[in-house]
Structure 1
Amino acid sequence: MELSPPNKIVLNSSSKRVVQDKKELIVGLSACLMISGQRCQTIWARKSVAGFKLREGSVIGCKVTLRGSSMYAFVDKLINLVLPRARPSLINQAIDPAGAYNIGVSDPFLFVELEHHYDLFQSLQGFDIALVMSSREKSLVPLLWSGLQLLTE
């Protein structure tokens, strides 16, 4: 049995406010840039959903993919700075069937880079962080995340 290291981290920010007002996208883009240190790409809707007043091709958010040394620096920041500051109600975590560990951070001001710019990022909803593995042995994935002190369940 072999357990490979994480492949990539995807940091995602999307909100219904972006659909209504395109200027809100700038807030998400700048927050992702400050947190990750990389430029973000915009996310477009793949299909229309009438219940959400969403049309195909409209902008719904932004994402950034971290690999290599920037990925490990982000995991270090997540383990040592962000998660210890968070109350359990602000963090949602789950492991999906593919083995990715998903973290939902509802308070973006847990990140040190954003806490001094409260007036700029008031409208920011939060982030979704997906730590993606390429391991074939899916039963060992929770073992790795608990060893990195990310999985608390």
Structure 2
Amino acid sequence: MTGMEELYVDKIVVHMSVGESGDKLIKGETLMTEICGGAKPVRTIARRTVPAFGLRKGQVMGCKLTLRGAAAESFLETSLAIIEKKISSQQFDQNGNFGFGVEEHTDYPGQSYDPQIGIYGMDINVVIEKKGVRIARRSAQKKKLPTKQHVRKDEAVSFMKERFNVEVVE
């Protein structure tokens, strides 16, 4: 592969939904900051009312943060170890991105169960890209991204197998 066709982890978005604001959300944000190496999360807001879950539109219900670069890769290594480096092929989309969940924050190193806090789970979404996608996103002289710069599902699967030793289960 040439330099422009090499895949890399562009970003990782970590999301934690606690379902309500207040003390529970603050504890969740603190946990996320500790687990993700000091990055500060932003709060997420419900887009619609869902009475079955007790959510109202506009209510703060969780937090998320974005990791890039070396911090993203080290967090991904740790998170993949928790799920025993197994990912279903159905977790990949057609653009090569994938996501998985970690059921308990206590699985991360340095975290232990505290009855005052409880147990929180997280959704982890990974965006894989090739170099050169900036041409489609920049504000000046925006161009269409060439087909060879799009990441396909099979490329992302092989990248994860080679780079992170992940077993992709059918």
Task: State the alpha-carbon separation in 2 of the partners of residues 151 and 96 from structure 1.
Answer: 17
Q: Quote how far apart the aligned CAs of 1:119 are.
A: 3.3
Gaps in structure 1 of 5+ consecutive residues = none
CA drift at 1:70: 1.2
Match of 2:76 in 1: 75
Q: TM-score normalized by structure 2?
A: 0.72
Query: How far, CA to CA, are the matches of 1:150 and 1:103 in structure 2?
Result: 13
Q: Specify which of 91, 94, 97 is matched with residue 94 of structure 2.
A: 97
Query: Which has a greater percent of helix?
Result: 1
User: Which position in structure 1 is the counterpart of 2:124?
Assistant: 129
Equivalent residues in 2 for 1:1-153 (5 A)?
A: 2-16=5-19, 19=20, 22-37=22-37, 38-79=39-80, 81-84=81-84, 94-115=91-112, 117-122=113-118, 124-135=119-130, 136-138=150-152, 139-147=154-162, 148-153=164-169
After TM superposition, the score normalised by the length of structure 1 is 0.79
1:120–1:96: structure 2 CA closer, same or farther, 3 Å change rule?
Answer: farther
Q: Name the larger-Rg structure.
A: 2
CA distance in 2 between partners of 1:78 and 1:127 (Å): 10
Instruction: Report the identity percentage.
Output: 26
Any unmatched runs of 5+ in structure 2? 131-149
Residue by residue over 1:108-137, the C-alpha shift from the partner in whole angstroms, topping out at 9 and shown as x without a partner, is: 21101212x533432x33111111112413
The Cα RMSD (Å) is: 2.5
SS of equivalent residue, structure 1 residue 133 = strand
Secondary structure at the aligned position of 1:134 is classed as: strand
